[in-house]
């Protein structure tokens, strides 16, 4: 099932974002804007769900016919709770979008892969890198790896706190032909893009995911973390002349893909971006 297909069931009458934490998320703001623009009497809310409460929360949402999105740290846990996974969610082992089908079955989907592809293309000015460095080995990293594969990247280095976890992720995704684990993150002269999939940068006092002086001048930077004013890492990268973006474009793109999956129609992306102003896509140096 591709992200252009619709969930095989009734359109949801309520939508919720579950995560821990969720107070920083912009998803309720731009998803509600799209719903309002379409005249849909549906409310999109955020719910902070601690890890132990994920199964019961999903049971309650399934019983009420609710649907929604999933953010950190629950994407892999929700994948385990869904009775049915779409092919992309099954391969990623992570769910960021879910709904209830006509049988009342909880279905998990993943639109992060599509969102990551759009963000990578944008920061690469429409081109696909031949090699990449990915920081992290969680659910978001899985989506990024699959996006890089779809874009034709021929070499991916993966660096994570647990090298064993990174190796297991590569094995599970069947990407050993193009991906490998590395210890300390490093960029070669031909590394086209470095992508941070860890939470580093969510808080102002977080250390940088990677020291920027180690990057070649042509390497692009994509940080899946987003925050008001962008992350310090993105700001520094752009100041050094790198093409750089935070995770906002990916967030909106995956949200629009989720909307299409729930309702079988395109979201009003202009309305989504309008409520995020001045956080519209930034111009990056060529």
Give the right CATH number for 113-248 from 3.40.190.10, 3.40.50.720, 3.30.70.20, 2.30.110.10: 3.40.50.720
| CA angle 260–264–267, rounded 5-degree value | 40
The phi and psi torsions of 164 (rounded to 5 degrees) equal -65, -40
Digits of tens for pLDDT over the chain (286 positions)? 344 478 998 999 999 999 999 998 999 999 999 999 999 999 999 999 999 999 999 999 999 999 999 998 999 999 999 999 999 999 999 999 999 999 999 999 999 999 999 999 999 999 889 999 999 998 889 999 999 999 999 999 999 999 999 999 999 999 999 999 998 888 888 899 999 999 899 888 899 999 999 899 899 999 999 888 899 999 999 999 999 999 999 999 999 999 999 999 999 999 999 999 765 554 332 2
- Selected catalytic residue, list 75, 155, 249, 279: 75
CB 262 within 8 A of CB 12: yes
Mean residue pLDDT of the chain comes to 92
**14-111+254-274 and 113-248 in the same fold:** yes
The span from the CA of 166 to the CA of 44, in Å, is: 34
40 is catalytic: no
The span from the CA of 181 to the CA of 159, in Å, is: 6
* Sequence ranges of the domains in the chain: 14-111+254-274, 113-248
The span from the CA of 7 to the CA of 103, in Å, is: 12
Output the pTM of the full model. Answer: 0.91
Among residues 152, 149, 22, which one has the least CA distance to residue 88? 149
Q: Which CATH architecture has domain 14-111+254-274?
A: 3-Layer(aba) Sandwich (3.40)
């Amino acid at each position: 099932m591709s992200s252009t297909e619709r969930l095989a069931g009734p359109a949801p009458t309520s939508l919720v974002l579950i995560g821990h934490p969720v107070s920083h998320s912009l998803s309720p703001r731009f998803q509600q804007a799209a719903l309002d623009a379409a005249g849909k009497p549906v409310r999109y809310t955020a719910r902070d769900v601690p890890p132990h409460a994920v199964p019961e929360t999903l049971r309650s949402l399934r019983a009420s016919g609710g649907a929604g999105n999933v953010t950190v740290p629950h994407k892999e846990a929700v994948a385990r709770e869904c009775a049915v996974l779409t092919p992309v969610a099954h391969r990623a082992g992570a769910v960021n979008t879910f709904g209830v089908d006509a049988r009342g079955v909880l279905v998990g989907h993943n639109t992060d892969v599509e969102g990551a592809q759009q963000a990578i293309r944008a920061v690469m000015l429409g081109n696909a890198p031949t090699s990449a460095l990915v920081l992290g080995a969680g659910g978001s990293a899985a989506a990024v790896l699959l996006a890089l594969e779809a874009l034709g990247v021929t070499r991916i280095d993966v660096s994570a706190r647990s090298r064993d976890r990174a190796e297991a992720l590569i094995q599970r995704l069947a990407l050993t032909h193009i991906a490998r684990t590395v210890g300390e993150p490093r960029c070669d002269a031909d590394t086209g893009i470095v992508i941070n999939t860890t939470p580093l940068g969510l808080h102002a006092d977080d250390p940088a995911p990677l020291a920027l002086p180690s990057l070649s001048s042509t390497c692009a930077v994509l940080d899946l973390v987003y925050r008001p004013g962008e992350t310090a890492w993105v700001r520094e990268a752009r100041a050094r002349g790198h093409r750089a973006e935070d995770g906002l474009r990916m967030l909106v793109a995956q949200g629009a893909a989720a909307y299409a999956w729930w309702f079988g129609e395109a979201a009003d992306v202009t309305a989504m971006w309008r409520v995020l102003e001045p956080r519209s896509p930034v111009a990056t140096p060529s």
